[in-house]
Amino acid sequence: MSPTVDVKTLTIDDQEVSARAGQTILEVAREHNIDIPTLCHLDGLSDVGACRLCLVEIKGSNKLLPACVATVEEGMEVSTATERLQKHRKTILELLFAERNHICSVCVANGHCELQSLGQSQGLTHIRLEYRNPELHVDASHERFTLDHNRCILCTRCVRVCAEIEGAHIWDVMGRGIDSLVITDLNQPWGESGCTRCGKCVQVCPTGALFDKSKVGSDHPKYPDFLPYLNLMREAQ
């Protein structure tokens, strides 16, 4: 006997859609080709709702919900691109750009960067905030890879892919709030950590914060698409 499928019906941007209970708004939206911008979310990893770019409006509630973790409910009326949301998304991006030192022109990820692409797609032309210009270091102790904190947006994709997919949990976050840093082991140089050198963290990093030393110039496309496939094959075993 097959279990009963619990179906929810709702509207996203006035489009009537149906979904399975427990699905996130983001999943359902993407199934119906409705684009919601994301940054910390990556197919194949758990969601943490950290970047807040996927915030959506639900009719009847003044609270904005992150679509990557909010699950669908019967009769929901979701809006993904209201003026209010667009304003918030732009502000979030401005905060990210102002927080650390993002210099696209000399970045190895220039042209392949999710933060840069989002800035372009969301129509970001100026940063109204003062740049913080923090003094951050570069960890080039690893034989193959480099970590540049200047370009890190603290999405924690590296932390999640290392713990959930590679099973090594070398990456973690230390510090609080705006002063947080991603670290390897207990804040040891990456090259001296227990890193397995698989390179998954580099492939999932949305910016040039983690990069391959052999890729120089603006020559560093990343290929995070392997994750869902890897998960699928593991489940099949």
Partner 1 sequence: MTQTITIDPVTRLEGHGKITIQLDEQGEVADAHFHVTQVRGFEKFSEGRPFYEMPSLMARICGICPVSHLIASAKACEAIMSVRIPHTAAQLRRMLNLAQMIQSHALSFFYLSSADLLLGMESDPAARHIFGVVAAKPELGRAGIRLRRFGQHIIELLGKKRIHPGWVIPGGVTEPLEPAKRDEILAMIPQAYADIGLALGAYKQIAESFKAEIEVFANFPTNYLGLINEDESIEFTDGALRLIGPGGHVIEDGITANRFTEVIGEAVEPYSYTKFAYYKPLGYPNGSYRVGPLARLNIVSSMGTPLADVELAEFKQLALGPVQSSFHYHHARLIDILYGIEKIEQILTDPLILDKHVRAIAGVNRLEGAGQAEAPRGTLHHHYKVDENGLITWANLVIATGQNNKAMNLGVLQASKHYIKDGKFTEGILNRVEAVVRTFDPCLSCSTHALGQMPLVLTLVNSAGEQIDQLIR
Tell how strand 181-184 and strand 171-174 pair up.
Answer: antiparallel
Cα–Cα dist 40/30, whole Å = 16
| Residues found near partner 1 in the complex (CB under 8 A) | 105-106, 108, 137-141, 143, 146, 148, 191, 213-214, 216-219
138-139, strands of its sheet edge to edge? 138-139, 145-148, 210-212
Q: If you count them, how many residues does the chain have? A: 237
Least distance CB 139 / partner 1 (angstroms): 8
The least CB distance from residue 112 to partner 1, in Å, is 13
Which residue lies nearer to partner 1 by CB, 71 or 218? Answer: 218
**Which is closer to partner 1, CB of 137 or CB of 169?**
137
| CB of 208 vs partner 1, minimal distance in Å | 10
Residue closer to partner 1, measured from CB, 114 or 148: 148
* Residue 20 or 213 having the CB closest to partner 1: 213
The Cβ of residue 202 has, within 10 Å, a number of other Cβ atoms equal to 24
**Spatial CA neighbour of 42 closest among 156, 119, 125, 136:** 156
H or E, element range at 172? strand 171-174
Smallest distance from the beta carbon of 223 to partner 1, in angstroms?
18
Angstrom distance (rounded) from CA 104 to CA 115: 10
Q: Which residue, 41 or 211, is less far from partner 1 as judged by CB? A: 211
Give me the least distance between CB of 137 and partner 1, in Å please: 7
Distance between CA atoms of residues 216 and 211, nearest Å: 9
